[in-house]
Amino acid sequence: MCKELVLKNEFAQVSVQIDYSSNGVRLKVMDIRTKRVIYLDPLELESLAWCEHKDLHPILDPSISRWKGIGSSAVEPVLNYKL
């Protein structure tokens, strides 16, 4: 792992690190409040670059998962990508 970068605003606080421990380089993103972690590979990061902000709305809405408990949701977010 390399140096940790912390990004925060009034809505969220995350730490970001480059992870070299797997077969390829990945980005480790951790929600500091819940300690929930996701590792994103270059393909997943490139996919984010191709998204428009409206594509992210379903996963940014806290009523879908975060307000109902950590990682649990009765409704799964649906992403519709039109490339």
Amino acid 73 reads S
For the residues of 53-67, what is the DSSP string, one character each?
Answer: HHHHHHHH-TTTTGG
Q: How confident is the model at residue 77 (pLDDT cuts 50, 70, 90)?
A: very low
pLDDT at residue 17, as a whole number: 97
Q: What is the mean pLDDT of the chain?
A: 82
Q: Which amino acid is at 62?
A: P
List the beta bridge partners of residue 73.
none
**H/E element, 16:** strand 13-19
| Residue 28, helix vs strand vs coil | strand
- Residue closest to 28 by CA, chosen among 66, 60, 2: 2
Question: 41 is written with which tokens?
Answer: 């590979």
pTM here is: 0.71
Give the confidence band of 75 by pLDDT, cuts at 50, 70, 90.
Answer: very low
